[in-house]
């Protein structure tokens, strides 16, 4: 009997071992397949149609080499498997035009390959054999098409942006259109000591260059007419622009150009006292002529919530603290919640669709002269507006105070959907029609007509040719987008708040230039889903309801079962 039980025991151990081996092999075999369901609302971890379009239109064979080795971090394995699955999907969609290879960095060949590829390792401290040692790790990939190479670094940190980073590079490497986008922004002063560039808008310039390559004209000056090959003009944070600059901008529009202006009436740098007066961009009068008035003061949104960093000086140094801040409007996608109105981010426009929680910092209200636009045959669309709890604030004093100081706001102060970003498209009449353009000599006839809208003038009138420039136009068709905040792309703000704002702007630039492939991809960041403002009393109620309510219900159920059982027995 004893020997039989020993035999059974040995057989059991053997069978358990066998089962373990079979299960491990099964899992190893399954690791080579990819079958998954993405449950996220926006399909964050699934290839978008836009990506599929880019991949299926690859004409030249592309290859991706992944260098993934010694990657530390709690999310490393999860991210590796996500990247692996997505690359597999990409390869399948590209139908033989995309090769993917994971370089084995354990082997000497692999080590040599990573050196030859010029991929930079990153170093981190890790415990090895009881000692803290500096270890090298790799989490990069290299995209190659012909002789062209593009790396994607820090794959661990980019999370679900992985798809965008790969597809945008593939698109750039294969793009054949010659779209030219000109950036009009203050040129950063030369840093005599080298190092990081100074100035406010380096990040947007860097990203545009990365995205467009030679298609970007940075720091274009409006002192001269806009070159005819420019398709889209991006004007960021203009200050006190001269009449001639506005004129050149207008002439570009009338020639059928597309422009995007980011005004910055209130520039409130972080950690500094906010200004007490709004600044002029020089475009206000021209915009008013078009039927868009930039109102004085700033707009806040009581339903918004952002974390505002502030510096605190202590004995041990300066600390940065984040405080709840309910003033800065956070553009939300209300229509996703089924409310079809003009609040938040416009969900009908392909460039803004899908965006949620876009941060703005002290924008101004835009007033739209609907009748004027209708009479001129122009189409006006609000692309972004406050929530139902927006408010206007004329006084700029105390802008940096926290929410508690704003309690005096009443329901009557709140206003729904204050426009902050507007798209205007259609026939436009020159601000200088019937008058000499800035820099032009005033003739007798023109002096008589000055200040009028020149009602009897012929459409498409071509006035005397401007010196060394394109012919002057008094009327034309243009497309203009105006946003009343430029801090959305300010380097200081994006460093602290993140790049949600920059992606929003890049999307509109892409939409204006007609490159729509990446539009849906950029909006796929996991949105920071801010909840509505909850009063402290309601907060306490909800907390205690959850902590005590459900357990009480379970207790009640237990008592009922106990009584019923007792009664039955």
Residues 72 to 91 in contact with other proteins, rule: CB under 8 A: 72-78, 81-82, 85
| Residue closer to other proteins (CB basis): 135 or 202 | 135
CB closer to other proteins, 44 vs 422: 44
Q: Candidates 276-284, 286-294, 309-317, 548-556 — which segment interacts with other proteins by CB under 8 A? A: 548-556
Give the residue, chosen from 52, 121, 135, 417, that forms a contact with other proteins under the rule CB under 8 A: 135
Q: Which single residue is written with the structure tokens 């809208």?
A: 453
Residues 6+ apart with CB under 8 A from 15: none
Q: Does residue number 530 form part of the binding site for other proteins (CB under 8 A)?
A: yes
Q: How far apart are CA 383 and CA 346, in angstroms?
A: 5
Residue 554 Cβ vs other proteins, minimum distance, rounded to whole Å? 5
- The C-alpha angle with vertex 400 and arms to 398 and 401, in degrees rounded to 5, equals 70
514 Cβ partners below 8 Å, 6+ apart? Answer: 177, 179
Closest alpha carbon to 98 in 54, 35, 46, 140: 54
Using the rule CB under 8 A, is 120 a contact of other proteins? no
Taking the least distance from each CB to other proteins, the nearer of 19 and 450 is 19
Minimum Å gap between C-beta 298 and other proteins is 23
Q: How do strand 258-262 and strand 475-483 relate by DSSP bridges?
A: parallel
Handedness of CA 422, 427, 433, 434 (dihedral sign): negative
User: Is there binding between residue 10 and other proteins (CB under 8 A)?
Assistant: no
Report, in Å, the least distance between residue 518 CB and other proteins.
22
Nearer to other proteins, 130 or 192 (CB): 130
Binding of residue 272 to other proteins (CB under 8 A): no
| Token pair in block for residue 16 | 């358990």
Stretch that binds other proteins, among 250-258, 341-349, 502-510, 554-562 (CB under 8 A): 554-562
Residue from 16, 319, 320, 375 touching other proteins (CB under 8 A): that is 16
Decide: 504 and 511 in contact? Cβ < 8 Å: no
Task: Kindly list the distances between the CA atom of residue 311 and the CA atoms of 266, 323, 333, 489, in Å, as whole numbers in the listed order.
Answer: 20, 11, 32, 21
Site string for other proteins, 289-328 (x = CB under 8 A): ----------------x------------------x----
Rule CB under 8 A: say whether 402 interacts with other proteins: no
- DSSP-assigned letter for residue 545: I
Phi-psi bin for 111: left (phi > 0), alpha (psi -120 to 50), beta? alpha
Question: Which of 126, 239, 319, 447 touches other proteins (CB under 8 A)?
Answer: 126
Task: Pick one of 313, 315, 408, 529: the residue that binds other proteins (CB under 8 A).
Answer: 529
Number of residues that bind other proteins (CB under 8 A): 76
Tokens linked to 185:
């922004």
- The rounded distance, in Å, linking the Cα atoms of 540 and 329 is 26
Which residue has tokens 């679900």? 160
Structure tokens at 344: 């938040």
By the rule CB under 8 A, 555 interacts with other proteins: yes
Token pair for residue 454? 């020149």
Q: Residue 524 CB, nearest distance to other proteins (Å)?
A: 12
For 426, the enclosing helix (H) or strand (E) is strand 419-429
Q: Does 137 bind other proteins (CB under 8 A)?
A: yes
Are the beta carbons of 256 and 232 closer than 8 angstroms?
Answer: no
The minimum distance between CB 319 and other proteins, in angstroms, equals 18
Q: Determine, following the binding rule CB under 8 A, whether residue 40 of this chain makes contact with other proteins.
A: yes
Note whether 21 binds other proteins by CB under 8 A: no
Q: Which is nearer to other proteins, 477 or 530 (CB)?
A: 530
316, 531, 537, 567: which one binds other proteins (CB under 8 A): 531
Say if residues 360 and 420 touch (Cβ distance below 8 Å).
yes
| The one segment of 127-135, 183-191, 285-293, 487-495 that binds other proteins by CB under 8 A | 127-135
Provide, rounded to whole angstroms, the least separation between the CB of residue 302 and other proteins: 14
């Amino acid at each position: 009997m004893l020997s039989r039980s020993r035999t059974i025991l040995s057989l059991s151990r053997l069978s358990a071992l066998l089962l373990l081996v079979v299960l491990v092999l099964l899992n190893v075999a399954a690791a080579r397949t990819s079958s998954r369901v993405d449950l996220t609302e926006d399909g964050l971890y699934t290839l978008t149609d836009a990506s599929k379009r880019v991949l299926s239109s690859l004409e030249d064979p592309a290859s991706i080499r992944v260098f993934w080795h010694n990657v530390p971090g709690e999310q490393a394995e999860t991210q590796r498997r996500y990247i692996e699955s997505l690359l597999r999907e990409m390869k399948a969609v590209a139908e033989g035009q995309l090769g993917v290879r994971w370089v084995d960095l354990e082997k000497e060949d692999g080590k040599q390959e990573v050196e030859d590829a010029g991929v930079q390792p990153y170093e981190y401290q890790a415990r090895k054999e009881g000692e803290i040692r500096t270890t090298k790790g790799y989490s990069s990939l290299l995209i190659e098409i012909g002789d062209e190479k593009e790396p994607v670094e820090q794959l661990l940190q980019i999370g679900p942006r992985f798809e965008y980073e790969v597809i945008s590079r593939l698109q750039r490497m294969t793009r054949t259109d010659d779209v030219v986008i000109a950036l009009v922004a203050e040129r950063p002063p030369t840093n005599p000591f080298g190092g990081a560039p100074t100035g406010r808008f380096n990040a947007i310039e860097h990203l545009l260059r990365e995205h467009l390559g030679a298609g970007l004209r940075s720091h274009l000056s409006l002192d001269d007419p806009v070159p005819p090959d420019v398709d889209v003009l991006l004007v960021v944070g203009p200050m006190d622009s001269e009449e001639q600059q506005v004129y050149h901008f207008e002439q570009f529009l009338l020639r059928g150009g597309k422009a995007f202006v980011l005004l910055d009436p209130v520039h409130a740098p972080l950690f500094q006292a906010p200004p007490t007066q709004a600044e002029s961009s020089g475009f206000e009068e021209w915009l008013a002529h078009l039927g868009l008035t930039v109102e004085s003061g700033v707009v806040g949104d009581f339903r918004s919530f952002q974390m505002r960093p502030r510096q605190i000086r202590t004995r041990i140094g300066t600390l940065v603290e984040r405080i709840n801040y309910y003033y800065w409007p956070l553009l939300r996608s209300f229509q996703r919640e089924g409310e079809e109105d003009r609040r938040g981010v416009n969900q009908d426009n392909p460039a803004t669709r899908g965006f949620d929680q876009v941060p703005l910092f002290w924008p101004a209200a835009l007033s739209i002269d609907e009748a004027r636009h209708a009479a001129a045959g122009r189409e006006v669309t609000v692309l972004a507006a406050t929530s139902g709890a927006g408010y206007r604030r004329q006084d700029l004093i105390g802008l940096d105070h926290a929410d508690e100081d704003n309690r005096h706001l009443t329901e009557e102060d709140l206003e729904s959907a204050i426009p902050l970003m507007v798209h205007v498209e259609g026939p436009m009449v020159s601000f200088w029609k019937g008058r000499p353009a800035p820099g032009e000599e005033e003739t007798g006839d023109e002096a008589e007509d000055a200040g009028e809208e020149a009602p009897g003038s012929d459409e498409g009138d071509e006035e005397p040719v401007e010196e060394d420039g394109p012919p002057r136009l008094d009327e034309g068709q243009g497309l203009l987008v105006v946003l009343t905040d430029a801090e959305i792309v300010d380097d200081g703000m994006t460093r602290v708040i993140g790049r949600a704002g920059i992606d929003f702007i890049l999307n509109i630039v892409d939409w204006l230039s007609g490159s729509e492939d990446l539009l849906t991809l950029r909006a796929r960041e996991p949105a920071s889903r801010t909840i509505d403002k909850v009063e402290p009393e309601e907060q306490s109620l909800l907390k205690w309801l959850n902590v005590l309510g459900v357990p009480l219900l379970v207790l009640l159920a237990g008592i009922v079962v106990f009584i019923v059982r007792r009664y039955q027995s």
